[in-house]
Amino acid sequence: MRLSQYPLTTLKEVPADAEVISHQLMLRTGMIRRLAAGLYTWLPFGLKTLRKVERIVREEMDRSGALEVVMPTVQPGELWKESGRWSEYGPELLRFKDRHEREFTYGPTHEEVITDIARRELHSYKQLPVNFYQIQLKFRDEIRPRFGVMRAREFIMKDAYSFHISEASLNDGYRTMSEAYVRIFTRLGLKFRAVQADGGSIGGSSSQEFHVLAESGEDAIVFSDADDYAANLEMAVTLPVLAPKGGTTQSLSKVATPNARSIADICTQLSIKPAACIKTLLVDAADGGVIALVVRGDHELNAVKAQKLPGVARPLRMSSPQRIRESLALETGFIGPIGLKIPLYADHAAAHLTDFVCGANEKDAHYIGANWGRDLPEPTSVDMRNVIVGDPSPSGQGTLQIARGIEVGHIFKLGQKYSASLKAVVQDEHSKSATLWMGCYGIGITRVVAAAIEQNHDANGICWPEALAPFTLVLVPLGYQKSAQVRQAAERLYAEFIGMGIDVLLDDRDVRPGVKFADSELLGIPHRIVIGDRGLDVGTLEYRHRRATTSIDLALSEAVAFICDKAQSAKA
Amino acid sequence: MRLSQYPLTTLKEVPADAEVISHQLMLRTGMIRRLAAGLYTWLPFGLKTLRKVERIVREEMDRSGALEVVMPTVQPGELWKESGRWSEYGPELLRFKDRHEREFTYGPTHEEVITDIARRELHSYKQLPVNFYQIQLKFRDEIRPRFGVMRAREFIMKDAYSFHISEASLNDGYRTMSEAYVRIFTRLGLKFRAVQADGGSIGGSSSQEFHVLAESGEDAIVFSDADDYAANLEMAVTLPVLAPKGGTTQSLSKVATPNARSIADICTQLSIKPAACIKTLLVDAADGGVIALVVRGDHELNAVKAQKLPGVARPLRMSSPQRIRESLALETGFIGPIGLKIPLYADHAAAHLTDFVCGANEKDAHYIGANWGRDLPEPTSVDMRNVIVGDPSPSGQGTLQIARGIEVGHIFKLGQKYSASLKAVVQDEHSKSATLWMGCYGIGITRVVAAAIEQNHDANGICWPEALAPFTLVLVPLGYQKSAQVRQAAERLYAEFIGMGIDVLLDDRDVRPGVKFADSELLGIPHRIVIGDRGLDVGTLEYRHRRATTSIDLALSEAVAFICDKAQSAKA
């Protein structure tokens, strides 16, 4: 492409309403433009990158044996009523009626539609396993869309759905997809981690998230520094403490702690560390009562883990002052486990404490020197807190580290959730009717583009991984309009690179060199060749990689081979 | 692809609800499946063809210099209110509200959105001309969707929008698109015609339709048998009759024609031909009165032409019996031009008649021997009927023929309709504010697939043009499961064809040869090679083209070169 013939321009100013760097850079480079809240047009520079993501995803899905289809974006409400999600799904599900007053949705996902296809088309185990995928638009009516295409309302997903005769076959298919995802994100040139995740509202027994690592990521990713254990914060496991308990040296005594309502207050008043206290959280029980959850003062309760504990109401709810009053005859504040007549769980670390500090269940008072087994019963010790950096890895190897990530992929074992509710059955090898087993596998195609920028940028703009760059190479002629020598060299190189299949941008605009350099860095084009009279006089060009800080001289005669070589090795 | 690993099957029965052949064949071959009225899933065989259409369209749009973008499918109602179409557009415009009660539509077209982009991004004539295109989903809430993807509610369009500083530049851009469309439909391997068309409700001064010729086509296409003149029936021009008028031999007389309310009745009663009568049609005038439109008995009024006549109300409405009574003191039936005191237009052919028959404006009576200029004033002679086969071509060359066509493309000069209402202006070379000129250019991508089948099929199934075939070649091994020789030959050929980049299907299913032959014909794969023991024993294979009626022997050693040669020449 010749930049002189491209009508859109880059922006110098950071757009006021763009909070995150990827959104800012996508607007500044003219990759996208906002139409309305959460609705974006992809302009040519953005679309070129988007198509590169799509192509790599498509190639690896095809290679895995999946079959590409395209399902409608508009889905009948009836199907969602069959699965039960018409009422379960929140206002993110855009519901509307057609001219005949029939109910439809602009689908945020396609489990119902593909299961409907499966129950009509699949009749025998001989047709299995099968994996259908599509690269298709979806809509989620976010209450507050933001961060540009990172959390847009209309977006492109690659979603795949596999069908199996047995759980064993589903496990195989799930593994195949996990491997395909590793190939995809590797080929995209992104630093990423596959982490264990909770199934969430979509249901199912097992799931894995793929995160692009970036400091700005919304999610905390936990990983071992010694092996490939990785999980999101919701799922990362804490182990029972193996070290022997400390000695019981103090006796229990009640002390005054006026107005000490936070761990920080108590630590200040008593000159102790948070790790020497416990927090006693009261949550609703499923039977209408209250359950106590005890974690160490420096730890945080993990709601996903806690709501899986026997007896705890789902979703997790902190008990109201009224319920606490009715169940325990206590006021909130200064709550502690001693003397509480309700079920109690202690986190492994809290259960390992000795001589600890806790609320005394009366205003402005705490106990010091409390000990499990002496002052109160030994607790049921469970995993229900967020891990922290330095916790031992549950894999048994190394300690846990935490990084920030942006979720771009997610694979699930759905089991028989949808096939049971939609009655998708086939004949098995014994001619008996068998409910299908199902997996689903998503990649946020539009989101990958933003995540790649969050991971790859500097103060001057985007630093594209080679596989995602809208252009591999930019040619910057200095004095294109004035110097015949420069113009001829630029045109010859431009034609040669096109002939070699290199995605090349020729900046033939009549603007200052500084503007050309700034734009090439903003756009993040990996390779740049500057063509000037001074160099041409001695047969050289100036080459710089986007991530390099200095340029190198390049013989004019070797330029094409040099770049082709770089592009080739980036592909391999 | 190996057919044994493909889970979906073809259907022998013609689906009951599919009226047209393309819909039937797309269901039978498993190209598409219905989700709900007007909503279809594209399964792998269909999607392969759809992607081939997209690729050719994209390549030719890129070659024409157009820039690809992707606009959201969901569009804010505000923009449609600015252009005025929120209220003008009928119930085909799917309107809905988001969770914040803001109005949106699933766009059936994108003039508003692209004009909004243009007014924000284009500031100077130096950025012009520019042509943005997309290949994107659209939604039209048809009252009665039918014919499968031919008239679906959700469908894929290629839509392009060009912006210009002047009408002259728009004319250039329009011509460029017209040429690109000719290349596209030629490369798709379809028999088509570009025809002059009416601008229709989208507005604008000039437009051209591209029709795929097919007997089942809904539209009549008029073309000259001697040059490239072509127009749709609405627009095809009739010329004034150049031949001298016939002589005036009869005197005017009134005859009884009891109950003769149709041309057929009159012709029977008076033993004359329809071409000797006139029909006098009364239509509403724009001023509240009535206007008489006279056409020959064997001709049909063309509503599009008639409503453009000065004084005629738009849209064209036949006058009600009540209005006729009030304006003319006449009852309907037996109306004729003699003595009528209202404005009157006669079609060129009607105006050329002598000694004609017409209604006498009284019950059960007609005049015979009527003559313009003697019995009533010479009429204003205009073009307002549909052409018929044999009419002289308005190009001056040859006579007109009529064919049936399916509209798959449409290009418009929009002029300043949207740029004026949305205030899309730029600075011209004199630094003055200038309203943009605009063109728009559509191709129904999903519709092209159905139209191609309507044009290319026989009793056994689809006969794909090479460029659109989901597979170029099918290998049919006979006894693949039993004969090692057949299996080895089939596998070797399959690998070789894949290596040569041929889109090859290996029918390695354990089914009877008859089933394989029937499926390969149903699927319409252009080239078929049968591999059997008998041939292999003497080093031959059996080759047949989908449109051929007999097979030919092919030396095993020459098979790859033979097919590559065919595929290559089809591409050229």
Residue A13 has pLDDT above 90, yes or no: no
Same structural domain, B65 and B171: yes
Percent of chain B with pLDDT over 90: 89
Same structural domain, A558 and A435: no
- Tell me what pLDDT residue B498 has: 95
Q: pLDDT by residue (tens digit) across B332-347?
A: 889 999 999 999 999 9
Residue B572 has pLDDT above 80, yes or no: no
Measured distance CA(B195)–CA(A555) in Å, rounded? 56
Same structural domain, B407 and B445: yes
Residue A396 lies in a domain: no
Name the phi and psi angles at A346, rounded to 5: -115, 140
First to last CA, chain B: 25
Percent of chain A with pLDDT over 70: 98
Residue B301 lies in a domain: yes
Same structural domain, A48 and A154: yes
In what helix (H) or strand (E) does residue B452 lie, and over which residues does it extend? helix B445-455
The CATH number for A545's domain is 3.40.50.800
Contact A99 B139 (CB under 8 A): no
Give the mean pLDDT of A163-189. 97
Maximum C-alpha span of chain A: 93
**For chain B, how many residues are written?**
572
The set of residues, in sequence order, having a beta carbon less than 8 Å from that of A170 and lying 6+ positions away, is: A162, A164, A413, A415, A437, A438, A439
In what helix (H) or strand (E) does residue B383 lie, and over which residues does it extend? none
Total structural domains within chain B:
3
Q: Which residues of A361-482 form beta strands (DSSP E)? A: 365-370, 380-382, 400-415, 425-427, 433-435, 437-444, 457-458, 461-462, 473-477
Measured distance CA(B315)–CA(B203) in Å, rounded? 14
Domain end residue (candidates: B454, B487, B514): B454
Residue B505 has pLDDT above 70, yes or no: yes
Q: What is the DSSP track for B530-558?
A: EE-HHHHHTTEEEEEETT-SS-EEEEGGG
Measured distance CA(A69)–CA(A86) in Å, rounded? 24
Mutation target to probe the A interface, by most A beta carbons within 10 A, among B8, B9, B124, B155 is: B8
- Tell me what pLDDT residue B332 has: 82
Q: Which of A33, A76, A130 shows the shortest C-beta gap to B117?
A: A33
- Tell me what pLDDT residue A204 has: 43
Q: Which of A96, A106, A113 shows the shortest C-beta gap to B35?
A: A113
Give the mean pLDDT of B232-259. 92
* pLDDT category of residue A199 using cuts at 50, 70 and 90: low
The CATH number for A329's domain is 3.90.960.10
Same structural domain, A295 and A426: no
Same structural domain, B57 and B193: yes
Percent of chain A with pLDDT over 90: 89
Query: Touching check for B498 and chain A: CB below 8 Å?
Result: no
The interface pTM score, or ipTM, of the predicted complex is: 0.89
Give the mean pLDDT of B169-198. 94
Q: Which of A8, A47, A130 shows the shortest C-beta gap to B7?
A: A130
Same structural domain, B332 and B414: no
Domain end residue (candidates: A454, A485, A518): A454
Measured distance CA(B121)–CA(A231) in Å, rounded? 44
Maximum C-alpha span of chain B: 93
Same structural domain, A100 and A145: yes
pTM, to two decimals: 0.90
Same structural domain, A108 and A23: yes
Residue A393 lies in a domain: no
Mutation target to probe the A interface, by most A beta carbons within 10 A, among B67, B78, B144 is: B67
How many other β-carbons are positioned within 10 Å of the β-carbon of residue A39? Answer: 22
Contact A35 B113 (CB under 8 A): yes
How many other β-carbons are positioned within 10 Å of the β-carbon of residue A128? Answer: 21
Q: Which residue from B minimizes the CA distance to A110?
A: B41
Q: How far is CA A132 from CA A81, A111, B53, in A?
A: 23, 11, 22
Same structural domain, B505 and B447: no
Helices (H), B236-319: 263-270, 303-306
Residue A536 lies in a domain: yes
Query: Touching check for A11 and chain B: CB below 8 Å?
Result: no
Question: How many CB pairs (< 8 A) connect A and B?
Answer: 129
Residue B499 lies in a domain: yes
A541 is in which domain, residue-wise?
Answer: 471-571
SS3 B267: helix
Give A-chain residues touching B121 at CB under 8 angstroms. 7-8, 33
The answer to whether the Cα torsion of B330, B334, B337, B338 is positive or negative is negative
The CATH number for A59's domain is 3.30.930.10
Q: pLDDT by residue (tens digit) across B130-178?
A: 999 999 999 999 999 989 999 999 999 999 999 999 999 999 999 999 9
Give the mean pLDDT of A130-157. 96
Residue B393 lies in a domain: no
Same structural domain, A194 and A57: yes
Residue A428 lies in a domain: yes
Domain end residue (candidates: A402, A427, A454): A454
Residue A389 lies in a domain: no
Same structural domain, B109 and B135: yes
Q: pLDDT by residue (tens digit) across B348-406?
A: 999 999 999 999 999 999 999 999 999 999 999 999 999 999 999 998 899 999 999 99
Query: Touching check for A99 and chain B: CB below 8 Å?
Result: yes
